[in-house]
Structure 1
Amino acid sequence: MEEKQLEHFSHEEHPLILCELQKENDDGSIDQKSAVCYGCQEQISDSTAYCCFRCDFFLHKRCAELPRQIRHPMHSQHDLVLLRNPTYFSGGCSCNACGQGGWKYFTYHCSLCQFDLDVSCAILDQREIKLDCHDHPLRQQRPADIYCNACSKVGEDSSYLFAVCPFWIHRKCALLSSPVKHKDHNHPLLLAYSLPPDYRSFRQRCPVCREMIHPSDWLYYCGPCRYFVHVTCVVISQEDEGQLSEDIEYPISGERDQNVVKLPSSNAAQELIARFLLKEDEISSGNDSGKSNIPENIFIDSHRKHPLVLSQKVQNLDEIKSTANSDDQEEAKALLVCDVCIEPICSSDDLHYYACVECGYFVHLTCSNLPPELHIPKHPQHPFSLTCKSSAVGIFECEACRCWTNAAWWTNAACYKCKSYELSICIKCASASMITSSVKHDGHKKHLLTPFQSSHLFMRCTACDYTRGGGFWFACEDCHVYVCYACALLPPTTTQRWDKHPLHLIYPPYFEHPEKFYCVLCETEINPHCWMYHCRECDYSLHPWCIPQIRRFGRVKYGRSLNVNNHSHPLTHVPEAKYKSFCGSCSDRRLDWEEAFECESCSFYLCRTCARQRELRVVTINE
């Protein structure tokens, strides 16, 4: 290449020579000499540039050929003159377009107005830009308070506008790159000019600011993980070193404290009851040495007909599953259920329990020691009295854990009742409400959850996404995570009768699962931001409230009998009526697979509403 020299005002010591900065090797590879342009301070990637090797001074060809004087639309009243560097005493200036301070290189300057632009804002970025999200080319405007169509925020910044239509965006938003690496996520995030239609089935919430993402917002996202974040929050999050990644379990201050409750737990009811009820020297869980301190026979208010006899568990639940056939398993599990808390006897760590074999009445050791009155911290106005249901239709709605689908959460367990307010709380929730320490839950590994009582009219549960009025919660207010009792006390695993594998409770974000989740029972899409049960081997999922042993009647002990005055045989409480069954009293109500009262010999059914009516004179047989 013929040597070309340039006398340039920015380097009067020596002429600048147009040089080759790239060299081709014998193997065809290209070596690029590393050089930074003095004028714009950007790396030179062009094959040629103006150079002074003696002074290690380089200029882009475009920067070396910049005009010495321009009239700029941001300062149209005067000409701007190109300076080698600002002439202020400090040696630097602040660009009036982008706000960058301490600029000490090529500057277009108006001495009358003390107006300055760096070369990128003055010339290099003045070309029109074209974005995929808009049909027209956009041109940069002077700084002004504008509403940005990209980030939906008002702020003073250089902006781009097309004069034909009122479409404005901040300069920094117009220059957003894609993909980007966000430190709170494992995968690169793509820029989208609106929420992709495939992800609009459910509301999307930004994990940084916790605000909802509007379908028209610009955002960064990872589709396989259903991870969406505002474009402005990516910047905020990158600057905020305090943010933690959701998929890593971090050490939590205080979690080694023995008072910290760990959830989820397959034994949650008994662990919570024992925590506030029993002293270590009263009943030794899982220890035969404690038997001498336990009465052999007791009477309790809920079962005065016969004494309860201390019994020893011969088999635990795992042994039952391994030795019994499916019918025996169901029968064993139906029998070995505590009539006070409606939790399996086999789930307890105690080696003993109380039983009335004649009536099929069983009670955990812990449940036999429940206090008759409880003062719940979250409802200090009145005491709660222990109330036991004596009728097979004597079910109630727990005020603490009723949440899903805003339906009643029924149980025929014993309860604590505030008669003044007609509030009833099941034993498990009453025990949970007595927690004054923190909770470590696998669904939120960043921080401990604390007991929380809402004063708001409505709140939304992070785990199930349903709203409910007030009530009892576990919360991490720093992260705006609020978990209702129904979700917080879910078991870590459960089963389905058609699948030999356990279903595990899993929590978002669900990394690398690009397919949508569908509940195999109700056949609807599952919100990917909610907790769900999942079979890893078979890759299917279920809503927690769709699983029979968890849903709204999952905590009712079935098998109790009652006599009614319009049928000659006793009726048995069953979880599911047969297909094409109708109520024998109101007739027009179909009971397919619903909870009902059945006379198996006559195929006669009653719905709960009819069984509770006074004219039927419901009388229990075995209590």
Structure 2
Amino acid sequence: MEDEIYDHVSHKHPLSRVPDSARKGENSYVCYGCWRAFLPGEATYGCSRRCGFEWLLHKECMEMPREIMHPFHPSHSLTLALNHSSFKKCAVCEGTDVAGLGYRCSQACDGFWIHMECSEGFEDKDERRPPLAHPSHPQHELRFSKKTRWCPFPCDACGATERGDSYICTLCDYWIHESCALLPSSADFPRHRHSLSLAFSTPREYILNRFDCGVCNTTLPLTRWVYHCHLCSYVVHLNCATSTFVDGENEDAKATDDEKEVTKFPIAVDDMYEEMIRPFVKRQRGQIFVPRDHSKYSFSNHPHRLTFTTFSSVSSSSSSSSQDHYKKNEEDYDEDDFDSILTCDGCTLPIQDKKQTDDEYEHGYMNCNECKYFLHLSCFNLPLFISSLPIHPLKDHNLMLRNAGGKLASWVICYICRSDTNGIYYACTYEECKFIIDIKCASLPNTIKHAAHPRHNYLKLVTDYDFRSGFCENCYWPISQRKEQYICNSCRFCVCGNCVMLPARNKHRLENHALALTYDAYARSPGDFYCSSCEFKMISRRIWMYHCRDCDQSFHPKCFPATSGKYRNINFGTRQYMISSIHDHPLRFQIISKKKRCDLCRDDGYDQPGFQCASCFFVVCKSCGLKHMHV
């Protein structure tokens, strides 16, 4: 079967099966029919003569009928064609242009084009519709066939190839298994809490939102049958609906001991230092230097000498709120609290005393008595040079530790999480390379587990050597443009570094309790979701959000600017600033939350860095504050 060749309208030469090893060129990773990425081992078809035509097709996309009738254009038939000269708006969904394969009017009526996936409900040309016998094929009655086809055949319902009793339409060559023909229109399955409805082709909403099967996480077919839930946008293949496979059982059986110890994401803000940065420094340095208590040491990115301070000495000698940071729990954190607790000027994470596990020596932190500069002990041990990182695997591109230059100015943007930082970071020493990475992102491990993908637990970091195309599961950032993605080797799931770094929990000033990062809010709450902060609709029902089911509140991650938004890597500090030329009270540098507009320039400054008075409602944006601070 693999040696067969097929004539196709998209190319002058016949098409044949193309093995994974023969794929070449950036266009060979996506199907130019449905524009979905190929999974490893998935059947793909391209030019049998290897003439240089790079585009490939799924087998099902290649087998789409050459001519159909469609209710949107009943006057003429539509023919399958390759649109390579100009983009045409789809007449059915009116959403995106038709590029690659699509259906166009056979009489060229006003450039009428539709996507292949928008061709649901097509009829074969010039065929009449007899009385319904089966709702999947209303054109003609289906006749029972007792193992008529002795060679394997693909069922038009489930796509499986096997011998057996079937129902057929002799006029259209429409074949379905008897077991598929007898499937109920709706049924309860053990994998889902709601009743699932049978659909004779994948509903367009799942295609547009890039849904995969909810059980096996592989591609949904365009024309095969699926079971789906109207309430919560859950969709599965026919066979997967009745599958008894337990999530992750095979993956855990095959996992090595090293993989079973991989870091689990998302990580709570409290645990990022312990789970990521300390292991990273140990991998880079081999051994962490532990200074003596109250001794002074030089640090490459700070002009003053630093003193090692133990938590025990602080707790016994000071009761200031800035030194009680390590007594806080994650549940107590509000996004606005991150400018008042003691924070590391390196990784911008809270410094806190935790129960020691495998490292009995890290029982303090480094601080500068002259300028309130603080560092975790591991951040103090960060190597000045790194020869390479898996997330930046370019040869001869060394990384050097640098300092952003101050809490108020000289911020840089991390290439991985795309957020500003005023801490220390690594920058590529190659003159033409602009790669910059903050300390948290530099600490990302090669292999992770992520709660958003329980079906296949182990996600691998993409490098130049295992690159494939795709989109981030949450933000739809294209993997083809960036290398900092984690991918699943068993399915299409991938997530970018920005979304991997979202904390497990967040607390908004509008809420009294912490909200968990949620990936399947739609599975329990039918309908659309709106952010309680910005009041905008979530762009997709599959988007990750901070959600509370009890109070039905949802927030975009970006609407927590100080913890999961653009300023997640900014250390606002505890200093108060006197800017007497504009205000009589001390001002704190923080995320503005009291007013929408700056009191000086009247620009919108809400949820942006600025200067805010704790005694009254006076606020100014960052630029106005800096301008008057230097007068």
Q: TM-score range by the shorter chain?
A: 0.5 to 0.7
- Per-residue deviation, 1:540: 2.4
Compare relative contact order (CA 8 Å, sep 6+) and give the higher one, 1 or 2.
2
CA distance 1:258–1:168, change in 2 (3 Å): closer
Residue 535 (1) aligns with residue 541 (2): no
- What is the count of residue pairs matched by the alignment? 461
Structure 2 residues not aligned, in runs of 5+: 1-129, 316-322, 356-361
Question: Is it true that 1:595 corresponds to 2:612 in the alignment?
Answer: no
Cα offset, 1:191, TM superposition = 0.5
Residue 425 of structure 1: aligned partner: 437
Once the two structures are TM-superposed, the CA of residue 348 in structure 1 deviates from its matched residue by 5.8
1:227 aligns with 2:241: no
1:46-445 aligned within 5 A: 129-132=132-135, 138-140=141-143, 159-160=168-169, 169-172=174-177, 175-180=182-187, 185=192, 188-193=195-200, 202-207=209-214, 208=216, 210-212=218-220, 218-229=225-236, 233-235=237-239, 244-245=246-247, 253-254=255-256, 259-266=261-268, 267-278=271-282, 293=292, 296-305=295-304, 307-312=306-311, 314=315, 317=325, 319-320=327-328, 334-346=340-352, 350-375=362-387, 376-377=389-390, 378-381=392-395, 382-391=397-406, 392-402=408-418, 409-420=419-430, 421-432=433-444, 435-436=445-446, 438-445=447-454
- 2: CA distance between counterparts of 1:505 and 1:347? 25
Query: Which amino acid is 2:410 matched to?
Result: G
- Percent identity of paired positions between Structure 1 and Structure 2: 26
CA distance in structure 2 between the aligned counterparts of 1:415 and 1:136, rounded to whole angstroms: 65
SS state at 1:449 partner = strand
The answer to whether the 8 A contact 1:227-1:509 is kept is no
Question: What is the DSSP-based 3-state SS (H/G/I as helix, E as strand, rest coil) of the residue aligned with 2:558?
Answer: helix
Native 8 Å contact 2:297 2:306 kept in 1: yes
The gaps in structure 1 that reach 5 residues or longer are 1-126, 285-289, 403-408
Larger Rg: 1
TM-aligned CA deviation for residue 385 of structure 1: 0.2
1:447 to 457, 465, 473: 457
Cα distance change on mapping 1:213 and 1:572 into 2, 3 Å: farther
Q: Which residue pairs with 1:287 in the alignment?
A: none
Change (3 A) 1:547 1:467: farther
1:521 to 533, 551, 556: 533
Q: Find the aligned partners of 2:205 and 2:488 in 1 and give their Cα distance.
A: 31
Match of 1:478 in 2: 490
TM-score (structure 1 length as normaliser)? 0.60
Q: Kindly state the Cα deviation for residue 530 of structure 1 after the two structures are TM-superposed.
A: 3.9
Give the Cα–Cα distance (whole angstroms) in 2 for the partners of residues 515 and 318 of structure 1: 41
The answer as to whether partners of 2:597 and 2:604 remain within 8 angstroms in 1 is yes
Contact 2:345 2:423 in 1 (8 A): yes
Counterpart CA distance in 2 for 1:543 and 1:137 is 49
Partner SS for 1:483: strand
Rounded to whole Å, the distance in 2 between the matches of 1:136 and 1:509 is: 39
| Deviation, structure 1 residue 410 | 1.4
CA distance in structure 2 between the aligned counterparts of 1:505 and 1:133, rounded to whole angstroms = 40
Please give the residue correspondences for 1:530-569 in structure 2 after superposition, counting only pairs within 5 Å: 530-548=543-561, 549-559=563-573
In structure 2, the CA distance between the partners of 1:395 and 1:476, relative to structure 1 (3 Å rule), is same
Q: Which residue does 2:66 correspond to in 1?
A: none
**Alpha-carbon distance change, 263 to 416 in structure 1, aligned in 2, over 3 angstroms:** same
* CA 1:317–1:255: 2 relative to 1, 3 Å: farther
User: How many Å apart are 1:508 and its aligned residue?
Assistant: 3.5
Q: Could you tell me how far 1:257 is from its partner in structure 2?
A: 6.4
**How far does residue 440 in structure 1 lie from its aligned partner after superposition?**
3.0
Residues 154-209 of structure 1, C-alpha deviation per residue, up to 9 Å, x if partnerless? 99986438x8xxx8743446554333566755665320245668878844333436
Q: Does the aligned pair in 2 maintain the 1:206–1:212 contact within 8 Å?
A: yes
Q: 1:132: how far off?
A: 4.6
Q: What is the DSSP-based 3-state SS (H/G/I as helix, E as strand, rest coil) of the residue aligned with 2:513?
A: strand
CA distance in 2, matches of 1:450, 1:171: 39
Asked if 2 retains the 8 angstrom alpha-carbon contact of 1:151 and 1:218, the reply is: yes
The 2-side partners of 1:209 and 1:535 are apart by: 26
User: Match of 1:278, SS?
Assistant: helix
User: Normalization by structure 2: what TM-score?
Assistant: 0.59
> Matches of 1:580 and 1:179 in 2, distance apart?
50
The separation in 1 between residues aligned to 2:413 and 2:558, in whole angstroms, is: 16
Following the alignment from structure 1 to structure 2, what is the Cα–Cα distance between the partners of residues 443 and 383?
Answer: 33
- Equivalent residue number for residue 95 of structure 1: none
Contact 1:583 1:590 in 2 (8 A): no
Take 1:538 and 1:330, find their aligned partners in 2: how far apart are those partners? Answer: 21
Quote how far apart the aligned CAs of 1:429 are.
0.9
Alpha carbons of structure 1 residues 527 and 252: separation in structure 2 relative to 1, 3 Å: farther
Query: What letter matches 1:547 in structure 2?
Result: F
Q: Please give the per-residue CA displacement for 1:541-570, whole angstroms capped at 9, x wherever unaligned.
A: 323232232111122122578999x98999
Deviation of 1:273 (Å): 1.7
CA spacing shift, 1:441–1:577, aligned 2, 3 Å: closer
| Alpha-carbon separation, structure 2, partners of 1:518 and 1:602 | 28
Partner of residue 92, structure 1: none
Alpha-carbon spacing, 1:260–1:201, altered in 2? closer, same or farther (3 Å) = closer
Q: Distance in 1 between matches of 2:458 and 2:342?
A: 34
Q: Which of 585, 589, 595 matches 1:579?
A: 595
1:170 is aligned with what amino acid?
W
Are residues 492 and 222 of structure 1, via their aligned partners in 2, closer, same or farther at CA, if it must alter by over 3 Å? same
Q: 1:303 to 1:561 in 2, by over 3 A?
A: farther
Structure having the larger proportion of residues in strand: 1
